[in-house]
Amino acid sequence: MKRTQEVFDRLVSSEFRLASFEDVKTVALAMWHENFVPQVTHLSETSAKAAGYVVDKLMRFNCVSQELKAKLRDVLAVLKGMFSFTPVKVKGCDKLAQSWGLVTDLKLQIRELLEYQTRHYKHA
């Protein structure tokens, strides 16, 4: 899980347009199939916005258990307690990203993850 935390930190610390699909995939698979709950208390405000969006986005998929969703909601509460996030309006940007104050999103990379979030996927 340490490596996953490092990948998560890298993902939320750089602009999403520069994010590698492999980083997004690593975090998504860990969250969806390995019950990964990221540590967020060390993040800057900018990284916290990105982390909030990533966690909020990935926890909405059906492959996330109710127990994990509860833990991830706690992560979101920690982030919201650390900083206040002012929503923005940006044409073509995911509304969830905008609600976290972001002007970019991961919707293209998330779309590529479809095959990994079904009940037919066997995580190794």
pLDDT in tens, 43-77: 999 999 999 999 999 999 988 999 999 999 999 99
- 8 Å CB contact between 114 and 24: no
Judge whether residue 30 has pLDDT over 80.
Answer: yes
Residue 115 is predicted with a pLDDT of: 80
Judge whether residue 40 has pLDDT over 90.
Answer: yes
The length of the chain is 124
Query: For 87-92, what is the mean pLDDT?
Result: 95
Residue position matching structure tokens 């706690």: 74
In the three-class reduction of DSSP (H, G, I as helix; E, B as strand; rest coil), residue 15 is classed as: coil
Domain residue spans of the chain = 2-117
Q: What confidence category does residue 116 fall into, taking pLDDT thresholds of 50, 70 and 90? A: confident
Q: What confidence category does residue 2 fall into, taking pLDDT thresholds of 50, 70 and 90? A: confident
- 8 Å CB contact between 38 and 71: no
